[in-house]
Amino acid sequence: MLKQRILTAAALGLPALALVAWGPNWAVLALVALVLGLATWEWGGLARLENPLARGALVAAVVVPVVALGLAPVAGLHYLILGLVLLWWLVILLLLPFYRERETAAPASSRTLFAVAAIMTLVPAGMGLVWLHALAPLLVVYLVVLVGLADTGAYFAGKAFGRNPLAPHISPGKTREGLLGGLLTVLAFAIVVAAVWGLEPMDAMVFLLLSVLIGLVSVVGDLFESILKRQAGEKDSGSLLPGHGGILDRFDSMVAAAPVFLAGLLWLALIPAPPVAA
């Protein structure tokens, strides 16, 4: 399984990272739209939207705004969405400890709420990735690698030292030791990158703290998708990626990490904020 995961990640991830690093913004927008479209289709399956038209409408409700926001100059609407999604993830973080799995099938109203949650979650993530790429493509590469290392570090640390469950009602396999291992991996990576980029000491310290925060935030995105899968009674969101499951299974950490990372970079003035279009 691990070998299959590595081969899939290398075959798909490396070309995608090359495109992000050196490709034009419109190509990255197209890639993000494709990934989000596939992830939304899987999300619709988890939400029990059995009608293909309904699921296709959900895909359009996510992809069309992302493309429109990606093509438009940065305006007040972009900052409004960024602010709202920070509040969205804060609420999810506060509610995670109170989650308990339903013993009965979710009512239709719950399925509708999960579909709405797809829009609230995926649209800002796509917007954030395309926006950040327009400002600093290498920071998108850094974010993707950081989130992957957080997951990898947590996996191996959890296997070796995991004893105490992190969120037993949501994802019993995750442990506090695994979380710590993931965060230490993130910190080590951030130290190396800060040194290579020659950041000033104060900027480097802020960059390291933000990176560790993003490692934590990525776990929140992962746990949120785990709730969707538990409610749907599914182990994976799909089967498109051998060894990984579905697209959403690989993108779940990024949906939380991308907008928070962008907001942190802008707020901490680690990257210049683009002028707001009238």
pLDDT in tens, 146-199: 999 999 999 999 999 999 999 988 988 899 999 999 999 999 999 999 999 999
State how many domains the chain has. 1
Alpha-carbon distance 217 to 263, whole Å?
13
142 closest CA partner among 74, 200, 210, 89: 210
Residue 274 lies in a domain: no
Section 40-67 average pLDDT: 92
Q: Are 251 and 217 a contacting pair, CB within 8 Å?
A: no
Report the percentage of the chain scoring pLDDT > 90: 68
Least reliable range by pLDDT among 61-65, 108-112, 144-148: 108-112
pLDDT band at 138 (very low <50, low <70, confident <90, very high): very high
Q: Does pLDDT of 94 surpass 80?
A: yes
Residue 214 lies in a domain: yes
> Please, what is the average pLDDT of the chain?
89
Most confident by average pLDDT, 46-55, 201-210, 266-275: 201-210
Residue 205 lies in a domain: yes
What does the block give as tokens for 172? 């019993």
pLDDT, position 113: 82
Residue 43 lies in a domain: yes
pLDDT band at 18 (very low <50, low <70, confident <90, very high): very high
Higher pLDDT pick, 114 / 20: 20
What does the block give as tokens for 72? 């438009």
pLDDT, position 250: 82
Residue 278 lies in a domain: no
Helices (H), 75-234: 76-95, 108-135, 137-161, 176-196, 201-232
Residue 145 lies in a domain: yes
pLDDT, position 50: 82
**Domain region containing 225:** 2-267
Residue 207 lies in a domain: yes
Q: Are 237 and 46 a contacting pair, CB within 8 Å?
A: yes
Q: Does pLDDT of 256 surpass 70?
A: yes
Residue 276 lies in a domain: no
pLDDT, position 161: 93
171-175 and 165-167 beta bridge pairing: antiparallel
Q: Are 32 and 214 a contacting pair, CB within 8 Å?
A: no
